[in-house]
Chains A and B, each alone.
Chain A
């Protein structure tokens, strides 16, 4: 099955700086890579996603890059704000028939210091 690894496990940045979280996956059939933000006491919230036919996607201060050859993808947050503080999860899905379930990384706790 798919195995998703995520680094770092914790990340502290000063407000206004950039944050980068990296993930690797093992199954070359995976073709969908979402990122979720989870705040305390809440469920994961989808913040951005990318499919394997695209190398980069941007949404305001958030961007995701995908390197299919190396099987890794990254989340970039620019101009960080205190409200960006949360746990971020990457995930991968192989698509096809069936459930298309997501395999999640172990999460990165991001702290933005005012």
Chain B
């Protein structure tokens, strides 16, 4: 069974740039969620995708957007990066019948300078 994989593991960007983070869900999982984890904090919900559509969104501005592909993999895009966007971005997959039971990848550490 393949777990959740994310790429890249680390990324450095400058303020105002755009970034795309990628995620492959665990085998058999059809739902993908993205979370932002600031240093020393718990993860915060960004959004969730199911059947290639956004299925719910947390308190994040529209410059955070996503995609889900037919193979259930997903992308997180962030436009107009701000310094406060520096964080660990976590992707989690789950089954539609148990959307809240999340299995996380190791994350992408994004630094915005």
A residues within 8 Å of B by Cβ?
Answer: 4, 6, 32, 34, 36, 41-46, 49, 89, 91, 93, 95, 98-107
Contact = CB atoms under 8 A, between A and B. Distances in A.
Nearest to A90: B42
B104 A93 contact: no
Interface of B: 4, 33, 40-45, 47-48, 55-58, 90, 92, 99-107
Contact of B43 (A6, A45, A99, A104): A104
Contacts of A102: 43, 45, 100, 102
Main secondary structure of the interface of B (DSSP, over half): strand
Contacts of B42: 4, 6, 89, 91, 104-107
Contacts of A42: 106-107
Nearest first, the 6 A-B pairs at minimum CB distance are: A99-B56, A104-B42, A43-B104, A101-B45, A99-B48, A100-B100
B102 A46 contact: yes
Contacts of A99: 33, 45, 47-48, 55-57, 99
Contacts of B101: 32, 34, 46, 49
Given A32-B101, A43-B105, A101-B58, 6 more contacts: A43-B104, A44-B43, A46-B103, A93-B100, A106-B40, A107-B41
A35 to B, nearest CB: 12
A107 B41 CA distance: 7
Nearest to A93: B100
Contacts of A44: 43, 90, 104
B104 A45 contact: yes
Contacts of B56: 98-101
Contacts of B102: 34, 46, 102
A48 B71 CA distance: 28
A8 to B, nearest CB: 14
A56 to B, nearest CB: 19
Contacts of A104: 42-44
Contacts of A91: 42
